[in-house]
Structure 1
Amino acid sequence: MGKGNETAPNSFILLGLFSDSKYPGILISIILVIYVIAVTGNSILILLIWLDSQLHIPMYVLLSQLSLMDLTLTTSTITKMAIDFFSGKRYISQVGCGTQMFFYLTVGIAECVFLKLMAYDRYVAICNPLRYPVLMSPRVCLMMVIISWGRSAFTSLSHTSYIMHFPTCGSREIHHFFCEVMAFLKLSCEDTSIYEKVVLVTGTVLLLIPFGLILASYALIFLTVLRMNSLKGRNKALVTCSSHLTVVSLYFGPIMIIYITPCSSLTLELNQHLFVFDTVITPLLNPFIYSLRNKEVMKALKMVLSISLMSK
């Protein structure tokens, strides 16, 4: 390790991405460009939903929370990685490591919940439209958001506090670009195999149950859509639901491979590349999938742009 990577007590070294690549600077720069586009896209989507009163309905409120999660997830991981690479100082304090872990787990758990809530919202809107104003009222939606964030943060804090109390010894190098749970546990002096099994079981429950409920919701939606007499209503429902399913696939696919597949069957490189997809590519694609295939969002964007041009 170079001088810049000497750690202080209770600090760790993040080995980062592309350590074996011949051109790491180019690859990191590409990721930074993608990060900037992802932040811009999600920020614009949140702004549009906040500015346009017609988008103040449960579906778009939940969508704004999804964009907020993407911003939190990508910013809490990618910015640190980029700073470490260009400064040459790859260390992270114990507090910083715990903070990264807390935000990643909170957002990861919350995203599973919110994708399930979005599927439920579409199910009620299409399959039970007469009950929609009651089942998805603004008050109910607000309670869903608060409870989902609160439970996710509490679960994340519990796991983070427990993990950070494991004593570490020997090498303080974390083979990752952020303080990921399983990578951090490899530094422990104690036998963490039992807790790793707990993480595997917890991850399976937190992923498979929401994923199963989401698939069940959309299966019922598609059956209802197929019976619709209105071709326009059918097409609108299919476009909306296909966008949601695309986002669900992008999120759950890599995460299920990471946390349900036994660690021994994944190489370090594949593991990190899957996390790059989760923390960079998915936040980039989400706002474009929703905005480009959503007439209401595009209408709000055109309105904001026209107002901005007229004010100049």
Structure 2
Amino acid sequence: MTAPPAPYRGRFAPSPTGPLHFGSLVAALGSWLFARSAGGEWRVRIEDIDPPREVAGATQAQLRTLAAFGLHPDGQVLHQRDRNDAYAAALRTLLASGDAFECHCSRSDLAASHGIHRRCVATHPRPDPAIRLRVPDGTRIAFDDALRGHFEQDVAAEVGDFVLRRADGLWAYQLAVVADDAAQGITDVVRGADLLDSTPRQILLQRQLGLPTPRYAHLPVVVDEEGRKLSKSLSALPLDDDAPLPALRAAWSALGQAGTSRLDDARDADAFLAHAIDGFDPSRIPRGGTRILAASHNAPATGHV
């Protein structure tokens, strides 16, 4: 007898490297709309496993912004900084099965292969080796993205043996996100298309660890007028917690959604979002390319590339 599908559970997982900007809002709103329109849950996870990049106070500021914009998560917020034991357990499993190994190679050692690791070439052992996932030759991962369609990657040739724990002892994103999505029971991952190339690695890890694979949908990435992702752009102005409606309307438009009189008449974020759930149409989300941001983060251009 086939078990019924798990109830929809999505998530938004920002890194605390600064305040949320318009690109963050598009990703948060998109994942929230998918979850709420499916009658499902929406979780928030703070991906704070890289302390050198963390900005003091950013986590609290991001959570305040989400609340000001009416994007309230279900359940407690998960912090990756509290998940070391879970990541260590996953790593032990991979080491015990032979799917992971210690690597003493430095970046300079791998320069000739453009950073792609296919075999260890280090001539001297390091006191702080990284741990990598062994990716056999010919390893190809394919999946069907809800927005982008069929996507396939030769992980061995294009990525190589990838890092699970860095040489500085910090956890790599790929291992942490896989362990956390499983622990939180995430059924659907809706995020920016800048992470599309990471998905095959995560699916490979899920298979090696015997974990379920969520469904994926990768949203258009908001860029500035020079084509740079907002997290790397001077246009990444922080959202205004005191005036959420203009940015919410702009994010709705960036997701390709149609305006309605009820949305136009909404006087606060909660009212806007309540009407947005009813009017949300995933088929209107742009399927390819990235959306261009105009001079103001509250008024993105309508075209995309």
State the TM-score, normalized to the length of structure 2.
0.23
- Tell which has more relative contact order, 1 or 2 (C-alpha 8 A, sep 6+): 1
Counting strand residues as a fraction of each chain, which structure ranks higher?
2
The structure carrying a bigger helix percent of its residues is: 1
TM-score, length-scaled by structure 1: 0.23
